[in-house]
Amino acid sequence: MRGPHNIWRLIRTGATFERTGAMGVALDAVDAPPRLRMAARMLGWPFRWLGYKGDPNLPPVTRAITALGPAYIKFGQILSTRADVVGTELADQLRMLQDKLPPFPTEAARQIVEVELHQPVDLIFSEFSEPVAAASIAQVHRATLRGNGKDVAVKVLRPGIEAAFRRDIDAFHFGANLIERLLPATRRLRPRDVVSHFESVVSGELDLRLEAASASEFYENTKEDAGLALPLPDWHLSSRRVLTADWAEGIPLGDRRAIMEAGHDTVDLGRRVIQLFLQHALRDGFFHADMHHGNLKVAANGDLIVYDFGIMGEIDEYTRRVYAEILMGFIQRDYRRVARVHFEAGYVPRDRDEAEFARALRVVGEPIFGADASQISMAGLLSYLFEVTERFGMQTRTELILLQRTMVVVEGVARSLDPQLNMWESARPVVTDYIRDNLGPRAMAQDARRIAQTISRYAPLLPQVVDQALWNRIHRAEIEAAPPPLRAPLGWIAATCLAVGMAVGLLLN
């Protein structure tokens, strides 16, 4: 329940932020008003001694979040891409969060595997390693299948992680409600929706069967994509808390020197990361939403290996078209087009000035063109863009949170491979192809065909729908024209006649 008992968890959170020195940094970053500062201090300062100490080698906010546990780490990672919520300076600090925690004992992992797969580990695997990676929700072991000698990755959820996340997410909901009540101005940023979005993301990660399903669907969508490789799940050796998949052998994408020494083209890799992400988002509407360095490798043949499908993004076809038009408008420097799309999609209230909005967008786009990539401050551009959204009354689009977050992460990965990479030039061919296929005459013909198919599917019902609509309209008019004492009887008579007529019609058919 999201009740007052969560106050204790918020007090412990506030105490930890006070003890680590993160409270002031966080309040300054969001330019908190006096009422919120006072409430935060009341929750933190008197109970400072109850707070976790954390790692003193980390920056204050990162230190506090890592001390508070897995749910806070995961939430901090998501907030690191929401500079509109926490400010650009704090967002930069939160990006330092590493999705790593000390591993839990291998013996505990083996016990979970045995319970989940209903047989001893030694009967399934000839080798089962110590943890090779430990994250906030699960850890990974390298293992060898008994019989065929195939190397696999075995992902195991942390013991008790489900209950821990439920407890913390409950407190997040309580805190978001409290913030919206204390600060009505924050409703534009929809903190409750942000927490709900976070809850849905984490809920998917806590059931590894869903991750296996995502990997399988992603493979079906992308199996024809050149230069991309995916480790597939082993459904017979997977369950809610255990996932077994192909072992992904390659050089981590964060090791640029090793990639260059192996003879791979880092410029091409950087461009490919951007283009593959956009292809999946625009073409399929289903994309990997956690494409940081830790989930990407380079195979010996140069293929980009993508793994860990715990967080996936999905956007509908209409939103994909809107997003593509906005991207193309920026690429072509047609800011009136970008502004018009925002208004048509309802992203900006109709009472705002479209021409003024277009000029504000020009300030975002123009510095990108004709400038060396190293001269472009994405933090500065994002900061200004968030000012624009506030000035024009734009609300947070929760359906685009993962897309926006992943776009920022993907660009950072691509830039680490090619510091001179221009995101817009890399995106141009993908967006152009999508618009040609989905916004041109061919797309109009496909839409018309789908509409015709939908109508034809319901054609047998149309006569009945028309008859019912005409009957309702005629008899509603008669009832409204009748004197008040007669309206109720006429209504009953009309309903009875309609029921009898439908019954007779069904019998005749």
Catalytic residues: 290
C-beta atoms surrounding 219 within 10 Å: 16
Q: For residues 229 and 238, what is the distance between their CA atoms, to the nearest angstrom?
A: 21
What is the token pair recorded at 482? Answer: 């009748």
Instruction: For residue 242, list its beta bridge partners.
Output: 156
Rg of the Cα trace of the chain? 28
CA separation, residue 67 to residues 54, 58, 104, 164, 492 (Å): 5, 11, 16, 14, 67
Which one, of 283, 282, 312, lies nearest residue 295 by Cα? 312
First to last CA, the chain: 53
Residue by residue, DSSP assigns 304-339 as: EEE---SSEEE--HHHHHHHHHHHHHHHTT-HHHHH
Check if the beta carbon of residue 323 is closer than 8 Å to that of residue 284.
Answer: no
Q: For residues 484 and 500, what is the distance between their CA atoms, to the nearest angstrom?
A: 25
Phi, psi dihedrals of residue 31, rounded to the nearest 5°: 50, 55
Q: For residues 195 and 220, what is the distance between their CA atoms, to the nearest angstrom?
A: 31
Q: For residues 217 and 284, what is the distance between their CA atoms, to the nearest angstrom?
A: 10
As a dihedral over the C-alpha atoms of residue 262, residue 268, residue 271, residue 275, rounded to 10 degrees, the angle is: -100
